[in-house]
Structure 1
Amino acid sequence: MTEKKLQFRDYLYVGSLLFGLFFGAGNLIFPVHLGQLAGSNVWWANLGFLITGIGLPFLGVIAIGISRQKGILEVAKRIHPLYGTIFTALLYLVIGPFFALPRLASTSFAIALQPFVPSSTQKLILLLFSVAFFFGAYLFAKRPNKLLDYVGKFLNPLFLLLLFVLILFAFLKPLGSFNVTPTDAAYLTSPLNAGLKEGYNTLDALASLAFGIIIVTTLQQMGVKQPKTIAKDTIKSGFISIVIMGIIYTCLALMGTMSLGQFALSENGGIALAQLADHYLGTLGSILLALIVIIACFKTAIGLITAFSETFHEIFPQISYGKWLIITSVLPAIFANVGLTNIIAGALPVLMFIYPLAITLIFLVLTGPLFKERQCVYVSVTVFTLIAALCDGLNALPLKLQSLPVIQDILALAQHIPLFSIGMSWVVFMPIGLVVGLILAPFFPKKITKEA
């Protein structure tokens, strides 16, 4: 079969698909809140947010591309087959049915529908909404070969059009200027660092690894067959996606800052967006925001359900893709009713554990040619990062679990690690693992094998 050469329009569609998969409700409300907190320092704060909010995800997309593998499972197995399976399963469980997926339903309900629902019936309406939300996502995910059409060509353009209307009003009739004092001390003293942390919390670095399987599969369905060409086309499409994300993040952050001219600092960006929508368009604005949030969450849910089901079918082939779809749709429909606060509290320790390992894997794939793809370097860096990640994960456990003697002993030792107090001790351990791996490399010459 002749290799297809994609046109700019094709890259635009795939880039739109990737953006649509990334951009959920959290991506919508985080930058608005950042803008309110940063005030006149919004430009530096936004720069920090862009570095980690779109920089890390783009590196993840590049890593999947240049690895010439179908997805994160094959890449993680470079360290060890068992490690690859466990790491991949944990990653998908966190950004799938145990955390990100239920959060999509609960967040979209809280912002889009809860203001219109009497408090006495909110639990029932949330249950009905969750079931309808994930049943709809299940129907779309049943045909993964149509994701480009569903998300890239329809849902995402519709989302961008609706969001553009709100952004246009905000900039044509600004509520205030950018010359306002930051409302948070961190944004007053070090806005760049504060923005870096906020972007780090979007979890899109994890999503970039998870969605790699969808992008590679989509390109193959478009007629791109050679791994080298798939790698290049993945990176080009990813670049289009992060440019769109960067523009929207910046607009939303500036909207947040300008909103302080009319409104007080809100508890979160969702409240600020609701205030803006109501100010400019009244009831129509509330309906507009409801559509924006629901579409944002819905398209991301479709992608996560698809990616989870495809990957778990690969790990456990005895269970069909269709059955995994059902499992991945039913579980978050149940967990969404547990409550957003409980969902976040339960997932935080796993997030603190797995995020450093994901960033480390991206780093290893990108720098592999520099150490000649020696497997011992992959293993050494991962082992050292694993130690730090385990300490960070234990430190995020509920206080009752932290009180266990063995955990207390580990945390007492970890207190001496630089940056441990802010959950970044892996930044210290990862370079140590790299140095150790490079020292051992001559004695363990085995290299990672790649698909040509």
Structure 2
Amino acid sequence: MSRKNVVFSGFMLFSLFFGAGNLIFPPFLGMESGSHFVAAIAGFILTAVFLPFLAIISVSLSNNGLLSIGERVHPVFGVVFAIVIYMSIGALYGIPRASNVAYELGFMQVVHVEGWLPLLLFSVVFFGLTYALSINPKKIIDLVGQFLTPALLCVLTILFVRAFFTFTYMDAPASEKYQSNAFLKGFLEGYFTMDAVAALAFGIVIINGLKDKGVTRKKDLIKGTVLAGLIAAGGLIVVYLSLGWIGRVLPHDKPLLNGAEILVFASQQLFGYGGNVLFGVIVILACLTTCVGLINACARFFNEIFPRFSYKKYVLIFTIIGLLFTNFGLDMILQIATPLLVFIYPIAIVLVILSLFQHFVGTSRKMYICSVSVATLFALYDVLATFNIQIEAVHYYFTLLPLYGNGLGWTVPTLLAAVVGYVLDIRREAVVYSSEI
């Protein structure tokens, strides 16, 4: 296993994670957290970097990635949940969202246009390029890791270095949101990036990429994937700290309502009109690499499950779906995807944590079944809440749970359910110490 392939795999994984959402969250956190910036960004990094990294490790330790993890609950659950994951983060949300953001925050920063026709023309070019980059899976690491990611990092570096030598650190008050429990608030911001779910798909992209480079031994695949994860995590930490710092020190005399406005304003302050071009290039590159990774992950997964169609046909299918959904507009995409994402995220986190935990305490089927069942109940209730449906009797008891007000009410009951399931299997001597490494 060559070091070059591992490094390029790490660069590729960094690009897959670093989409438009990851670009605009940290600057806004930096601006709002003020004097509590260190605590807030530490919490953000914990869930936006460390949790996805754990998911990458979890996938690398499983024989068949996400499918194997889900099958520990039940074989049918494994297949259905994997399909929901790939459709949610890919075709129905991640791909069209990234292309829409590339258009609205990238292209429109440079060229001021309106109406449906410019979006259609942009999406045709954008997805034509995405298709060309995705069609050959054996060259994905080379194309993204060797060329697109270094280009993205170079443009980001120009912004960071100029900002470092231009802006001056000054005391700034924290917004009301960050005046107490800044670490927890940052933790939740990182949680809502939902990169832990994306990691379940991206881990397979890296594993398949290493296989295409001739790495065949299970031990080497695990080592290569974990090292790639470390490289990506290191890059994300540096970039998040830099973006957060820009938001923290940026002088402004008008309200800036989100991270995109902060970065556009910072780019203009640093480079004039050229700043718009610089920011546009950053956004388009970030979104392009994310779309390439998502289409590759979805195409390879569905080719494995339903091999009737070839990988290339699935790439074409998901490219066309992405093109069509892009032109529905970002608001429509969010309306469709939000309930799905709310449903899958707690379940995905539970599966990631348990799949790592089992390597220390053994595999317990009831541990998976009990905890995932509880997480699913909470997820279903949260889905109803997205449609403004609330069951008063249930809502009252849920509000008594720790962290419920922060969207994490499911954590303690799910943990207790996992312990109960594990104890039940211990009593039946049904815990198996797995050799799956």
Q: TM-score range by the shorter chain?
A: over 0.9
The equivalences for 1:8-87 within 5 A come to 9-67=4-62, 69-87=63-81
Selected match of 1:225 from 202, 216, 223 = 216
- Pairing 1:181–2:173 present: yes
* Change in CA separation of 1:178 and 1:329 when aligned onto 2, cut-off 3 Å: farther
CA contact (8 A) 2:36 2:179 kept: yes
CA contact (8 A) 1:134 1:333 kept: yes
* Distance (whole Å) between structure 2 residues aligned to residue 450 and residue 77 of structure 1: 16
Letter in 2 for 1:231: I
CA contact (8 A) 1:141 1:305 kept: yes
* Distance (whole Å) between structure 2 residues aligned to residue 117 and residue 20 of structure 1: 25
* Change in CA separation of 1:324 and 1:94 when aligned onto 2, cut-off 3 Å: same
TM-score (norm 2): 0.94
Root-mean-square deviation (CA, aligned residues, Å) is: 2.0
CA contact (8 A) 2:5 2:210 kept: no
Bigger drift between 379-388 and 307-316 goes to: 379-388
* Change in CA separation of 1:256 and 1:335 when aligned onto 2, cut-off 3 Å: same
After superposition, the C-alpha distances for 1:38-76 in whole angstroms (9 at most, x for unaligned) are: 112111111111001101111111111222x24212221
Letter in 1 for 2:90: G
Selected match of 1:428 from 397, 412, 415 = 412
- Pairing 1:311–2:307 present: no
CA contact (8 A) 1:36 1:265 kept: no
| 1:371 shift after superposition | 2.9
Selected match of 2:140 from 144, 147, 155 = 147
Look up the match of 2:287: 297
Letter in 2 for 1:6: S
| 1:26 shift after superposition | 1.1
Look up the match of 2:322: 332
The equivalences for 1:83-94 within 5 A come to 83-94=77-88
- Pairing 1:381–2:371 present: yes
Segments of 5+ residues of structure 2 without an aligned counterpart are none
CA contact (8 A) 2:19 2:287 kept: yes
* Distance (whole Å) between structure 2 residues aligned to residue 177 and residue 331 of structure 1: 46
Look up the match of 2:155: 162
* Change in CA separation of 1:412 and 1:90 when aligned onto 2, cut-off 3 Å: farther
Partner SS for 2:99: helix
- Tell me the matched-pair count: 436
Letter in 2 for 1:151: V
Look up the match of 1:216: 207
| 1:29 shift after superposition | 1.0
* Change in CA separation of 1:130 and 1:448 when aligned onto 2, cut-off 3 Å: farther
Look up the match of 1:341: 331
Selected match of 1:256 from 243, 247, 250 = 247
CA contact (8 A) 2:107 2:284 kept: no
Segments of 5+ residues of structure 1 without an aligned counterpart are none
Bigger drift between 416-425 and 235-244 goes to: 416-425
Bigger drift between 232-241 and 221-230 goes to: 221-230
Selected match of 2:131 from 128, 134, 138 = 138
* Distance (whole Å) between structure 2 residues aligned to residue 316 and residue 249 of structure 1: 38
After superposition, the C-alpha distances for 1:153-179 in whole angstroms (9 at most, x for unaligned) are: 1000000001100111100111x4241
TM-score (norm 1): 0.91
* Change in CA separation of 1:408 and 1:254 when aligned onto 2, cut-off 3 Å: same
Letter in 2 for 1:57: P
State the percentage of identical aligned residues: 34
* Distance (whole Å) between structure 2 residues aligned to residue 219 and residue 268 of structure 1: 38
Look up the match of 1:246: 237
- Pairing 1:201–2:192 present: yes
